[in-house]
Structure 1
Amino acid sequence: MFKALFSRLIQSLLVLLVLFTVTFFLVKAMPGNPLNREKAMPEHIRVKLEHYYGLDKPVLAQYGIQLGRYLQGDPGYSIRLEGREVTDIISQAFPVSFQLGVLAMGVAITIGIPAGCLAAARKNGLIDVMAMSIAMFGICLPSFVIGPLLAEFFGRKLQLLPAFGWDAIDPKTWILPAVTLGLAYAAYLSRLTRAGMLETLSQDFVRTAKAKGVPGWKILIRHCLRGGLIPAVAYIGPAFAGIISGSLVIETVFQVPGLGRHFIKSIETLDAPVIMGVTMLYGTLVIVANFLTDLAGIWLNPRLRKSS
């Protein structure tokens, strides 16, 4: 068990190193100069700024300096927001994105897993066909289409919910962004849950329980739920990281002051420290989420525990 965890830790560190390297050189390959401003800048100030940010050094030297800083936990300062640390930008904006991601994941789990269980229990029935048809519709329809439609209908026409803005203590402002972001993941979860439950329901112990007269709901909940949720649990970890890192469009649509606006603005202005900081944060989230998902899978599946 500990050997497998140590191996996964080494793999995660190597993935982070590759992610850092690829992102760094991709940013350096982007055309333009991050010090270009709308107003002309005196040459002596440009030279000082290039020296301050290390832009006057060779690319490989810049790579080594940046890697050393990240190993010390210091991603540097933003070029666009002069004098402001990248860690300060992330610490201020990331909690909003994280809160939105948690709410969206709650929406996905609340809708997706019960829908998948009901569809599996009523295989090829009306509930199954309707649930899977809606799930396919949710998968095909992108969130940047669903978001404006929900904002127009519930925000402008019915005026039931705020169409734009975000308040950390006002639940009304959470609903539309969270629902929009969570619907697609709910669709995936419902299909995965249905597949896992159908596979479990076809096992011999289920037929034995039915022969003994055990009620169907008890078979579904007590005997099949734990094993049937393995595919869904394996998806939840990466999906949660994907929700947080993929909320950029939703934050823009609903004017949520999360990390997405800083990330998009940093790309527009070639603010390399912010691009690197946000990318490494999202990469770390994906790796941690996959690691926790593996642990949950080992806990749910006895065969994995024995093999580990």
Structure 2
Amino acid sequence: MFKNILNRLLQAIVVLFVLFTVTFFLVKALPGGPFQSEKAIPQHIRARMEEQWGLHKSLPEQYGIMLKNYLTGNPGLSTRLEGREVTDVIAQAFPVSVQLGVVAMFVAVTIGIPAGCLAAAKKNSLIDTGSMAAAMIGICLPSFVIGPLLAEFFGRNLHWFPSMGWDRTNPSTWILPAVTLGLAYAAYISRLTRAGMLDTLSQDFVRTARAKGVPGLQIVFRHCLRGGLIPAVAYLGPAFAGIISGSVVIETVFQIPGLGRHFIKAIESRDAGMIMAPVLLFGSLIILANFVTDVLALWLNPRLRKSS
């Protein structure tokens, strides 16, 4: 087990290094320059950026300077935001994206797992067919379609929830963006849960329990739930990272001041600091999420513990 954890950590270092390298050269390949924007950047800020990033030096030297800056925790300044520290922007915007992701993940789990368990328990019934059909619709409909529809119906027509904006202390502003973001993931989780539960329900110990007269709900929730959730649990880590890193559309539709909007604007303005830092942050988040799900899978599945 310790050897597997050490291997994961080494793989994480290699992946982050490759991710940094690829992103650096992709940013350098973007057309235009970092100071080509409608806003005039003050000369002292521009001089500080050129010195910090070594823009007057060769490309390999710039790569070495930027790698050293990131290893020391100094991603530099933002050209689009007139010289603000990238770390300050992330510290202000990333908690909003995390809060949105946590609420959306809660929506996905509370809808997906019960729906998958119910569909598996009522296999080939109307409930099974209907829930899986709804899951397929949730997978096929993109968030930029669901979001405006929910905002129009529940926000502008019924006035139940605010149709845009975000207040971290007001849960009513969380509902529409979290539901929009969580529905697609709830659909995936429900299908994975159904598949895992059906596989567990087909095992010999389940047939033995049924022959002994154990009630159906007790079989599902006491004997099968732990093993049936393994596929869904393996998906939860990457799903949570994907929710946080993929909330760009939702943040745009509902005007949420998260990190995704800064990331898109940074690409448009070739703001290297605000491109590199979120990419590495999201990459680290995905690696961490995969690591946590691997540990949970080892806890849920004794066979994986023995093989490791």
The bucket for the TM-score relative to the shorter chain is over 0.9
- Aligned-residue offset at 1:173: 0.3
Whole-Å separation in 2 of the counterparts to 1:242 and 1:42: 37
In structure 2, the CA distance between the partners of 1:57 and 1:205, relative to structure 1 (3 Å rule), is same
Unaligned runs of 5+ in 1: none
Aligned to 1:258: 258
Unaligned runs of 5+ in 2: none
Aligned to 2:177: 177
Aligned to 1:82: 82
Correspondences of 1:192-271 after superposition (within 5 Å): 192-271=192-271
Aligned to 1:31: 31
- Report the 3-state secondary structure (helix = DSSP H, G, I; strand = E; otherwise coil) of the residue aligned with 2:174: helix
Aligned to 1:279: 279
Aligned to 2:97: 97
Correspondences of 1:40-79 after superposition (within 5 Å): 50-79=50-79
- Aligned-residue offset at 1:157: 0.8
Quick check: 2:116–2:194 contact (8 Å CA) kept in 1?
yes
- Report the 3-state secondary structure (helix = DSSP H, G, I; strand = E; otherwise coil) of the residue aligned with 1:232: helix
1:94-138 deviation line (CA, Å, top 9, x unaligned): 000000000000000000000000000000000000000000000
Query: What amino acid is aligned across from residue 292 of structure 1 in structure 2?
Result: V
In structure 2, the CA distance between the partners of 1:87 and 1:46, relative to structure 1 (3 Å rule), is closer
Quick check: 2:185–2:239 contact (8 Å CA) kept in 1?
yes
Whole-Å separation in 1 of the counterparts to 2:105 and 2:181: 8
Aligned to 1:294: 294
- Report the 3-state secondary structure (helix = DSSP H, G, I; strand = E; otherwise coil) of the residue aligned with 1:240: helix
TM-score, length of structure 1 as denominator length: 0.97
1:135-193 deviation line (CA, Å, top 9, x unaligned): 00000000010000000000111111100000010010000000000000000000000
Identity, in percent, stands at 72
Aligned to 2:132: 132
Query: What amino acid is aligned across from residue 147 of structure 1 in structure 2?
Result: G
- Aligned-residue offset at 1:73: 1.5
1:255-281 deviation line (CA, Å, top 9, x unaligned): 011101111111111000110000000
- Aligned-residue offset at 1:38: 2.5
In structure 2, the CA distance between the partners of 1:40 and 1:246, relative to structure 1 (3 Å rule), is closer
- Aligned-residue offset at 1:41: 7.8
- Aligned-residue offset at 1:44: 10
Whole-Å separation in 2 of the counterparts to 1:39 and 1:122: 61
1:4-30 deviation line (CA, Å, top 9, x unaligned): 100110001100000000000000000
Pairs aligned (count): 308
